Structure 1
Amino acid sequence: MTRASPMTPIELAQASAEAMWDNDCASQALGMTLEHTAPGEATLSMTITQAMSNGHGHCHGGFMFTLADSAFAFACNSYNQMTVAQHCSITYLTPVHVGDRLTATAREVSRRGRSGLYDVRLTNQAGDAVGEFRGHSRTVKGTHLPIDE
């Protein structure tokens, strides 16, 4: 009996993302699109709706944070290890408006032992940076996909 060859790191990242996406009701309900996954990387996008606006008529910062946090989650979970946020922060650079299409691009800065550090840049449809997010991750018990013994 022959065994299938093991997944490449990119295939593993994509399969882990698909498994996570199937259960990610929050990201899906907000209309996010998962555009790219690779080891330690993820890109998601979302259009800002009227329901996401604050009292100033701009995008509420919580929705920007949520988009960045989702990109962070897909990036740090790309190794088929359950990984959670330990600490996150965001800096808002400029107001975002209803109708803007935001893209969150996450990249791994460091991954050692059970800890990881990730940066996420939020840009609008013109490519202008509108926010910078940093997330600290921690792996926990469990995997997204079954592991061959």
Structure 2
Amino acid sequence: MPEKLDKNREAQIREHFPNYPFPAHLGIEVEHLEPGRATLILSYRQENTQGMGFIHGGAITTLCDTSVAAALFTMIEEDEKILTIELKVNFLAPADSDIRSLAKILHKGRKTAVGEVDVTNMSGTLIAKALVTYYVYKD
């Protein structure tokens, strides 16, 4: 795997990222990309919270899923597509402020890919840990 992400590929990912409706609706933004890795931010917003004022588990789960997808986009071929086939999240602490996800691809094969995600608050406290499996296919 190359050490640096091709600038054209990074620009392509950043350009298309806002076109994904649900992550855009939640306000998820790309902070950093490199081959097989992605760092995303989910800003604390009232509409993303649950009844006690913490970021909703569904929003955190979406952040995890989207983070692994972004990391995987740095590795797949132009004609490859991806779909989530399994996702497991352990919630470790409540989030009452902006959070950051750090995703890393552990395996990319011909048909599947697996990534892990750490979600932290901006102080570095671990909020959640996830493992996500994707189906990799061509049209």
TM-score bracket relative to the smaller structure: 0.7 to 0.9
Aligned match of 1:77: 73
Q: Aligned ranges for residues 62-73 of structure 1 at < 5 Å?
A: 62-73=58-69
Percent identity reads 23
Aligned match of 1:113: 110
Deviating beyond 3 angstroms after TM superposition, the runs of 4 or more aligned structure 1 residues are none
1:88 matched to 2:87? The reply is yes
Deviation at 1:23, TM superposition (A): 2.2
Question: How far apart, in 1, do the equivalents of 2:52 and 2:42 lie?
Answer: 20
Alpha carbons 2:68, 2:103 under 8 Å: kept? yes
> Cα gap change, 1:13/1:87 in structure 2, threshold over 3 Å: closer, same or farther?
farther
1:141 matched to 2:134? The reply is no
1:30 matched to 2:26? The reply is yes
Deviation at 1:45, TM superposition (A): 0.2
Question: How far apart, in 1, do the equivalents of 2:39 and 2:123 lie?
Answer: 16
Aligned match of 2:5: 10
Number of equivalenced pairs: 133
Question: How far apart, in 2, do the equivalents of 1:48 and 1:19 lie?
Answer: 23
SS state of the match for residue 5, structure 2? helix
The structure with the larger Rg is 1
Question: How far apart, in 2, do the equivalents of 1:16 and 1:75 lie?
Answer: 13
Structure 1 unaligned regions, length at least 5: 1-7, 143-149
Deviation at 1:9, TM superposition (A): 6.5
Identify which range, 13-22 or 25-34, moves more after superposition: 13-22
TM-score where L is the length of structure 2: 0.85
Aligned match of 1:3: none
Question: How far apart, in 1, do the equivalents of 2:92 and 2:9 lie?
Answer: 30
> Which is richer in strand?
2
Aligned match of 1:53: 49
Structure 2 unaligned regions, length at least 5: none
Task: Give the CA RMSD over aligned residues.
Answer: 1.9
Aligned match of 1:129: 126
